[in-house]
Amino acid sequence: MAAESDDYLELTANMTAIPATILKLLKVNVPASLTSPINDINFNVDRIVFIMLDNFGLFEYTYYKPEFLIQACDALVLLDTPNPYTEGILRQIFYGTDQDQEFHLPGFLLANGKSVALLGRQDDLNIIAKNAHSVPCTDDMNVYINAVKALNRYDFLSLHFVDFEKLYQQYAFQPPAETLKQLIRRTDKWLKVLYLQSKSGTVFIVLSSHGKHQIDLQIKGKAAQWRLASLPIAIFSKKP
């Protein structure tokens, strides 16, 4: 893990640069149709664990300061996108664009000899999986349990956690601060366990969306200003 909280790269990129960056890290030739990879992400990688967190972005990261994610961060990328919501981001990551096209990240990895597994809700897997191996999960605990089983067995393992989104919906997008802190601590702990159990040469990419739909958070003051300025982020962490 990064030894100091400021010992990491701070970068900006377009969301559509992520699939090419994944291919580059896994030493797979990048199709010309994709947005170019992020130049400064140059880890020596054996496998990738890609983790998507709905409704966990720059605001939650900077305001609630999840201990493990901050300590493990080797690169923090602010991601520019015209569509920061879940389905749009899934399409940008797995197809390179908001719209379906010939390129499909899991299929392309499989065609180039890489092993792939996707864990998440069935309706999200319907968007991204196609013929790739997928494991439908009922909730975040189920995703975590299956992730522990799948860890270190695939070149590209994708996990999708949605409890932040559920919490915002449950409390009309004004969850109690302590409840949100507990959820962040729990998820941060899970990610730490996965990181510690992963083999050397694994890169974790923790990427945020702004949830399933555009919402009015109905918050005021400083928090409202931060949330309006919030961007989706990607946190890159390499297991030494």
Match 């919030």 to its residue by tokens. 230
**pLDDT (0 to 100) of residue 216:** 52
Options 1.20.1640.10, 1.10.520.10, 3.40.30.10, 3.40.720.10; CATH for 9-238 is 3.40.720.10
Question: How far is C-alpha 18 from the chain's CA centre?
Answer: 10
Tokens linked to 153: 């067995």
Mean pLDDT by 10 residues, the chain (240 residues): 65 96 98 95 97 83 89 94 89 86 93 98 94 94 97 98 64 60 88 98 92 49 51 93
Q: What residue segments make up the domains of the chain, in order of their start?
A: 9-238
**pLDDT (0 to 100) of residue 56:** 79
Type and span of the H or E element at 118: strand 116-120
Tokens linked to 228: 């309006």
Distance, CA of 162 to CA of 158 (rounded, Å): 13
Q: Which amino acid is at 72?
A: A
**pLDDT (0 to 100) of residue 60:** 77
Distance, CA of 42 to CA of 54 (rounded, Å): 26
Contact 202, 168 (CB under 8 A): no
